[in-house]
Each structure stands twice: as structure tokens, then as C-alpha cells.
A and B are shown apart, each in its own frame.
Chain A
Amino acid sequence: MRESLVIFRRELRSYFLSPIAYVFGILLVSVLLWYSTEVTLQNGARASAEAFFGTLPFMLILFVPGLTMRLWAEERKLGTLELLMTFPVTIWQLVLGKFFASVAYLGLVLLLTIGLPLTLGAYGKLDWTPVLGSYLASLLFAGSFIAVGMFWSSLTRDQIVAMLLSLVSLFVLYQLGNPLNIELASDWMPASMVDLVNGISPFKYFVSIARGVLDTRDFVYFACFCGFFLHANTLVLQARRQRG
């Protein structure tokens, strides 16, 4: 645990020492708020941050790969991965440290958007619980995307390849939860397969938590989803360590 915390601190610090993280954060927050405030801040509209949280998943698809591409690929390219492997930490501790640092960084970036709910609360009766639920859902959703991105980053030395692979896979995962695609798929897929495919997408569970309902099913799903990709990540690193 202590070792994971050391890795976590090191990673989180590295985010704030790099100008890319600031550019990334400013872009994400500005684009997200620019689009969502246009819909949300309307006189007479319902005081709700739904539009903001509705835009967030798509934005995360675009931005998370940029955040995760360097996590392992850069270490490999700079040759620091081998050095890391010599540290007295297990691979799981390494993976968890990096994972939680990325989640914490995204959490801090999301915290900067709190101004929007505060504005809504000042000019209307905002129901804060769904908003807080949505922030929690966003973190879980972002966590699942980070886990996928980290996995791809561990597979390749090239950051661009890692980013593209993440981008495509996250896009596919997101689209699996899109009702329009489900309808298209149902024309040629058996019903059980449609349900299975739909059930894989984190988007479905994000929507469930974001509306203000905490359901053990959703938390179990996110834990399993992140757990699977983080475990796959450790397997890749393990294999790499064994190969020397």
C-alpha cells in the first residue's frame, strides 16, 4: 500500500510538472463547458447539469487516450520501465499507483467545473444529489477508460499507437451503449447477444449512476471492468519482466 502511494505521488507530481497536463486540462474543461453551458444556462430551463454530464463521456473518449498513452509507453521509450521493475514494488502496486494518479488528476480537472453547478444552484433550485452522483459516475467512467488506455499503453512503445488504439477501443465501448447502435445490431444479432454487448459498455452504467441512483450493480460492474483491464495490464508487464 505504501509503495503504491509512493508511485501515486510520483505520478501525480509528474502531471503537474508537465505543461501537457495543463494544456490537456484547460482544453478539456473549456471545450466541455463551452458546449454544455450553451444548453444549460438558459432562462426558464431546468436547473440541471445533465447536458454537462451528457457531453462528458464523449469528451473523455477524446482526451483520456492523450492522458494514458504515455503511462507505460513513455517509460519504455525512455528506458525507465526497466528501472521501475527493479524497485522493491510489485507490478500490481505499480499499476495501481499509476492508475489512481491518473484518476486523481482527472478528478482535479473535473473539480474545476464545479462552477457550473454552483451557478445553477444560485439561479435555480438545483438538486445536488444527482450532480454529486454524476461526478462520482464520471470518476468511475473515467477510471474505466483510464484502465483501458493504460492497458494499450503497456502493449506498445509508441505513444501515438497507444493513443490510437485507446481511442478506437474507447469509441467502440462507448458506442456499444448507444441505443441507436443497439437497434441496428438487433436486426442481425440474437437478442441475448445484443443484451450482452449492451451490458459491456460502461456508458450504460454511467447513465444509471448519473441520474442520482446508487446501485450496487453499477459499482460492481465498474470494479470488475477496471479490475479486468488492470489485471491484463499486470499480465503484460509480468510477461515483459519475465522476458527481461
Chain B
Amino acid sequence: MATRNTLATARGSTLTVTVHVVLLLHVLGQIVYLASRYRVRVDLTSDQLWSSTDSTRQLLGRLEKRLVIEAYFSPKEKLPVLYRETRAWADNFLDEMVQLGRGNVVVQRLDPNSDKAIADKAGRVGVKPLELRSQTSTSLSLDRHWQGLRLLYGGGKQKVIATFTPGSSFLAEAVLTPAVKEVLTAQKRKFGYMEWPVTAAGGPQQGGIGWNTLRTLDGIANRYEFQNFKDEDGALLPADLETLFLYRPKDLTDRLKYVLDQFVVKGGTLVAFVDAAEYLIGPQRTFSRVPMVLDAAGSQQKFTDQLLHYGLDWKVKVLADMAQRAHSPADPFGGANEYFAVLQQNSLGRAQHVGVPYPYFFHAIADDWSKVADELAKNNRGELDQALAAQYRKQFVSGMPSDEFLFKAFKQVGRGPGFYWPTWVGLRQRAGGVADLPPEVEGRVLLWSSPAVLVEDPPQSLNPLGLGDNLQKAAEMQKFSSKLRERLAAEPRQQAPLMVEVKGRFSSFFAGHDRPKRKSEIAEEQAKKPKVDDPATPVDESKPNPDDGPQPDAGQQKTDAAAVVAEAAMVTRGEEPGRVLLVGDSDFLRDDVVGGQYAKAGGPFSGITAAPFFAQMLDWLAEDRDLVDLQSRRAVDRSLKFVETATASNADPRLAEQALRSKTTWLRMLNVVVPGTLMAALGLLVFLFRRAQKRTFLSSLS
């Protein structure tokens, strides 16, 4: 009876414990579930790697209508492991967007795998399935998974991201936030442009190489509109046009200069990417100068004089920066094509591009050059010239002195966009290097070269490498660099301005002169003259030549025809402040250099720096700061440097490698052995202490 009671008690106790455990599990499960629903998270990483930037916060905080995000996502558990990680990032970021949107962001998750109608809809809107092959020992199947998004703002504008597979929160934000910005952009800001395409590599090419790639990039074209205003007749620019780009201006007629003058005087912003010379790029890295004239034949006024009138000094010279950091690729291993590279055979017999230092292709460096004044003021014997050092300290400035948000991202990497054969574009100066700007105009240089710059007339041809084998090429390059170094040593140190801005109320360059007439006006005047003078001229000259580049819109031509007699009088002094920006290079924006076609032959390739620079320049000109924080988000370089790069490059590579290996081994041993030794030493101390205690105790007993 007692045994039965004990058994019953034991059973009851077991049951109680089981119920207790099950209930506890249930309660704890609920707590964990609730904690995952209502959570607070703090990103402690110094680069804020797991948090969205202010760009995203501000954009989502400004939503006035509902932003619906249709997420065409296959079930997570069906995704292959590699894609499951991207789903986690995608989900995390979408959740964060919902939180930041304060009720204005709705994510609708749709599963195309579960319903054919949804799959069809995904296809219609442009979401593409990922077709992934899965293979086992007995089967091979092709699975379709969806992971794309459609953003709809206020039931109107939409943006589709065909596949959204971010590898980190940073990449998720880099894709989604600009997409949100696109759907929020109610009206595209309009930019005008005039371009003079570059003669193609290898010889003249019809149409030449322009700068279409950047203007038509998805992220740019969806937010900004570009209209070609290059008009053969020379009509004045419309009053509502705020900004006009000039891409590589050349063959400028007086009429066109007048059009630009009136645009600036009336308060427009003129941005010109200019070049001093044009080169044909031949085989074996040879460059031959192509005849290029800035002012068209018969032109009375020089464009450089016109710029000088506004306070800008464009010296039609070519620059070469001898500072090694200015013309070396950012990544010496993977970035050979960033500037200049030659095809060489490596030790395995494979052809590969090897970067070559070429001072005509360089960046502005963000360093404050006045800090190296002492170093620069030393003579060959290493003696410091105090007076010269003091002068350099006063004279030299940072390569990127401006705090404008255009340069925020570039300052983080320490250098500006890469330029190719740049030219001098600075402020007008009086003797002694003092800026001499027109009244009511202020100006500043936005980018400078290093103080190791050479300024020269554009050479007729350049052949830095010669035409021999690799050894001969290296010798030629050495000779080429030595000549430049000798010249640098013989010339005074100076910094060359690479990008400059003036703004204010400008007076007209043409004030006091006759207004240059349009072609149609000239034609009409000639038509009014007796026919015996020249009967055929008026009709022929008014026709645009189809080979002269892009033609104006048909509507524009009609307007011109109507305006023959009604052009506004010359404005000699502006009421509104105008602005002129000169960038001392245009090659970095040209299609083959940005797009990488030219890089196939050895570079340069400017896509890495030119595309962000141009995109950020548009935002800067439009005063749109929404994406600044996102654009300037950049992880700090955290690479380990056990040996100095200089040591590795100057010394025998085998010795450098040996030094590196020995240092790594030593550090490894130190890390592995020291903790264990410390622990063993502690153990030994404790053992000795206890043995002493034991002996004392035993001796006290005896």
C-alpha cells in the first residue's frame, strides 16, 4: 500500500514537473516572440554598417503619400542557402523602411510560387525570376525563384527592381533608397547641354565620341532630363533653362559665345568641361595630337578672353602631376586600368594589364600641401631654405579645399575624380598671384593639383613606351619619366587649378560691341539685298548641315524661324547672379573612357570616379542633398599592413616576402603561445603557493 502511494506521489510529481516545464516553455516562447516583434536595436559599429543613413531617414520621413512596396518573394525556406542570406538583408531593410516610414510605407509580400496569377503579374511588371539549377546525384532541376520589388508612390509613379539580392544592409540601402528617391521625384530637373564629340580612337569617326553614357545611366536619367541646345542658327537659350553644360567646347562662333554670354549675364549656370588638346590614341600607347581650334574661323572674339572677362583664366596648357600618389591607381593590384596600363606577359605566360605611372593622368589629392612646405623647400643636398618654405606654406593649399557636399564622398577617399591630360582652369589674377575678379563677382578654386605639377603646351605627340619589347618599353618609360623629373627640378613649384567657379552679377562680354547675328538673320539680310549680289546664298546657308552633330528639335527650329525679327536686346549687365564653372578635363566623361571600351586596350577607365562625380555634381547643381549621406557612405580602409608598401616595392620582392612571412609567423606565435604561457605560469604559481602552504601546515604539525 505504501509502495503504491509512493509510486502515485512520484507519478504526480513527474506530471506536475512536466506541466510546469511545458507551461514555462510556452511562456518563454511567447516572451521571445514578443521581443522579436517589439525590439530596440543599437548599431555600435563605428561605420554604422548595419544602419540606414540620414538620406533614407529623411526621404522616408518626408513621404506625403503612401509608398507601397510589392515584394515578389519566393518562400525563404525554398531559396538556396546563398540567396537566403540576401533575403535576410532584404527583409531587414524593408522592415526598417516600414518603421522609418511611420505608417506611409507598406510592404506587400506576394509569393509568385504559390499562385500563377502572381507569377504572371510579376512578369508583367518587370520582376524577373532567378532561374537556379539544383543538382543531386539522381536529379537535375531548374527552379524559379523570385526576389524583386515594385515601388508605387501615391498610386502614380512606379519603379521596378527586377532582382533584389543585396549582400549586406549597405547594398540593400544603396539600391532601395535611390529607387525611393526616383519615385518621389515629381518633376525631372532639366539640364541643357551642348557637346562637341571627340575624334574617335584610331581615326576620325562619324559623330565622334560623346558623353551619352553618363547622361543615360538609369539612376541619372530617371531623375534628370537633358536637352541638347546646340543650335546651328544660334538661337538664344530659353529663359527657364537654369543650367547648361558645355562638353569639350571647340569651333565656337561669335554668335555662340554671345548666346553663352547672355545666358550667364541673365543668371544662368554654365558648366564647361574643357580640354586644351585632343589626341588620337594609337596602338602601343602612342598619342598624336589632332588639330582642334577653340574659336571658329572668322571669329572676332576669343573664348578664353570671354572667360577672362568673367574672372576665369583658362590657360590652354596641359598638366602633368609628378606626385606619385596623384597618378598611381588607388588599388595597385586590381586597379591597373584606372589610369594607364600596358599589356604584358606575366610569369605564367598570360597577358595582363600592368599599371604604368603616367603623370598626365592624375587625381587632385585631398592633402593640405602647405604641410609639406618644408619638404618641398629642401635642395638636392637636403638643406632647408627657410624663406622658400615660408613662401610655400603661404602659397600651397589643400587639393580639395571646398566643403561643398559635391566633394564629401571624394574627401573620404582622399582624392578627387581622375582627370586625363587636364588643363589649367583658374581665377583671373593680378601680378603677385592675387585674384582679380570683376566687381560683384566672387570665385574660388575647387580642385588643385599637387605642387609637383608641370604646365606645358600640348605636345604634338606622346610615345612614352616606344614600340619595342617589354624591356625596351620599360627603358623608354624610365627615360620618359626622367625627362619629366628633370624638368620638375628645374621649374618653380606651383599648384595648378583643376576646377574653378565664379558667381555673381556679370556684365556682358559683348557690351560695347555689335550683337553677333544668327545665321538666319544674316541669311534674311542677304535675301533682302538685290538678287544679283548672291542669289543662291540665303537658301543654302539657312539649312542645317546634317554632319554638324546633333540637330535642334523641330519645335526649336520653328521658334527660331518666328523669332528672326524678335530677338531680345542685348543685356549688358545682369540682374540675377549667374555662375560659371570650369572643369579642366572632359576626357574623364567621354563614353569610351567611362564605359570601359577603351580600357580593354589598356585603359584608362574612369567609371569608378567619373560616374559618382557626375551624379553628385547634378545633385549639387540642383541643390538636392537627399542622397548625399548615402553617396558619401564608405567603409574605412581596415586592411592590415604588416610591412610598409614602400619597403615591399623598393626592395627585392623575395626579401620583402620573406620579411612579411617572418613577421606574420612571429605575430602568430606571439598570439598563440603567450596566452597559454600566461595560464601555465598562473597554474605554476598556484601550485607552488599551495605546496608551500602544505609544507608550512605539515611542519606546524610536526
- Are A and B genuine complex partners? yes
A191 at the interface (CB under 8 A from B): yes
Q: Classify chain A's interface size.
A: 35 or more
Q: List the A side residues contacting B17 at CB < 8 Å.
A: 235, 239
B372 at the interface (CB under 8 A from A): no
A2 at the interface (CB under 8 A from B): no
Instruction: Tell me the bound Cα distance from A132 to B670 in angstroms.
Output: 21
- Are B683's CB and A19's CB within 8 A? yes
A168 at the interface (CB under 8 A from B): no
Q: A33-B671, A115-B675, A129-B44 are in contact. Are A123 and B640 (CB under 8 A)?
A: yes
- Are B24's CB and A119's CB within 8 A? no
Q: Which residue of A lies closest to B10 (CB)?
A: A243
Closest 7 CB pairs of A and B: A220-B35, A186-B77, A22-B683, A112-B675, A129-B44, A124-B640, A212-B45
Out of B24, B77, B671, name the residue touching A231 (CB < 8 Å): B24
A82 at the interface (CB under 8 A from B): no
A55 at the interface (CB under 8 A from B): no
Q: A30-B675, A130-B44, A183-B84 are in contact. Are A47 and B639 (CB under 8 A)?
A: yes
A221 at the interface (CB under 8 A from B): yes
List the interface of chain B (C-beta within 8 A of A).
13, 17, 20-21, 24-25, 28, 31-32, 35-36, 39-47, 49-50, 75-78, 80-81, 84-85, 636-643, 660, 664, 667-668, 670-676, 678-680, 682-683, 686-687, 690
From B50, B638, B660, residue with most partner A Cβ within 10 Å: B638
Q: List the B side residues contacting A41 at CB < 8 Å.
A: 640, 642, 664, 667-668, 671
Q: List the B side residues contacting A42 at CB < 8 Å.
A: 640, 664
Instruction: Tell me the bound Cα distance from A38 to B668 in angstroms.
Output: 7
- Are B640's CB and A213's CB within 8 A? no
- Are A213's CB and B667's CB within 8 A? no
A-B contact count (CB 8 A): 163
- Are A224's CB and B672's CB within 8 A? no
Out of A45, A127, A182, A215, name the residue touching B77 (CB < 8 Å): A182
Q: List the A side residues contacting B680 at CB < 8 Å.
A: 22, 26
Q: List the A side residues contacting B31 at CB < 8 Å.
A: 220, 224
Q: List the A side residues contacting B84 at CB < 8 Å.
A: 179, 182-183
- Are A216's CB and B640's CB within 8 A? no
Out of B39, B638, B639, B641, name the residue touching A217 (CB < 8 Å): B39
List 28 A–B pairs whose Cβ atoms lie within 8 Å, in order of A's numbering. Answer: A25-B679, A26-B680, A34-B672, A37-B667, A41-B640, A41-B642, A41-B668, A42-B640, A42-B664, A45-B639, A46-B638, A47-B638, A116-B671, A120-B640, A125-B638, A129-B46, A183-B77, A191-B77, A199-B32, A211-B49, A215-B40, A216-B35, A217-B35, A217-B41, A224-B28, A224-B32, A228-B28, A235-B21
Instruction: Tell me the bound Cα distance from A212 to B47 in angstroms.
Output: 11
Q: Which residue of B lies closest to A185 (CB)?
A: B77
Instruction: Tell me the bound Cα distance from A125 to B640 in angstroms.
Output: 8
The smallest beta-carbon distance between B692 and chain A, in angstroms, is: 14
A180 at the interface (CB under 8 A from B): yes
From B40, B75, B670, B683, residue with most partner A Cβ within 10 Å: B683
- Are A126's CB and B638's CB within 8 A? yes
Instruction: Tell me the bound Cα distance from A199 to B20 in angstroms.
Output: 22
The smallest beta-carbon distance between A119 and chain B, in angstroms, is: 6
Instruction: Tell me the bound Cα distance from A41 to B662 in angstroms.
Output: 12
Q: Which residue of A lies closest to B678 (CB)?
A: A112
The smallest beta-carbon distance between B402 and chain A, in angstroms, is: 26
Q: List the B side residues contacting A183 at CB < 8 Å.
A: 77, 80-81, 84
Q: List the A side residues contacting B49 at CB < 8 Å.
A: 211-212
Q: Mark A24-58, 1 if CB is under 8 A from B, else 0.
A: 01100110011001100111111110000000000
Q: Mark A177-213, 1 if CB is under 8 A from B, else 0.
A: 0011011001000010011000100000000000111
A113 at the interface (CB under 8 A from B): yes
Q: List the A side residues contacting B660 at CB < 8 Å.
A: 43
Out of B41, B77, B639, name the residue touching A124 (CB < 8 Å): B639
Q: List the B side residues contacting A127 at CB < 8 Å.
A: 45-47, 636, 638
- Are A133's CB and B672's CB within 8 A? no
- Are B25's CB and A228's CB within 8 A? yes
Q: Which residue of B lies closest to A120 (CB)?
A: B640
Q: List the B side residues contacting A113 at CB < 8 Å.
A: 675
Instruction: Tell me the bound Cα distance from A113 to B668 in angstroms.
Output: 12
Out of B32, B43, B668, B672, name the residue touching A212 (CB < 8 Å): B43
Instruction: Tell me the bound Cα distance from A221 to B25 in angstroms.
Output: 12
A232 at the interface (CB under 8 A from B): yes
Given A37-B667, A37-B672, A239-B13, 20 extra CB contacts under 8 A = A29-B676, A41-B668, A43-B640, A43-B641, A45-B639, A47-B639, A113-B675, A115-B670, A123-B641, A179-B85, A183-B81, A183-B84, A212-B43, A213-B43, A213-B50, A214-B44, A217-B35, A220-B31, A228-B25, A239-B17
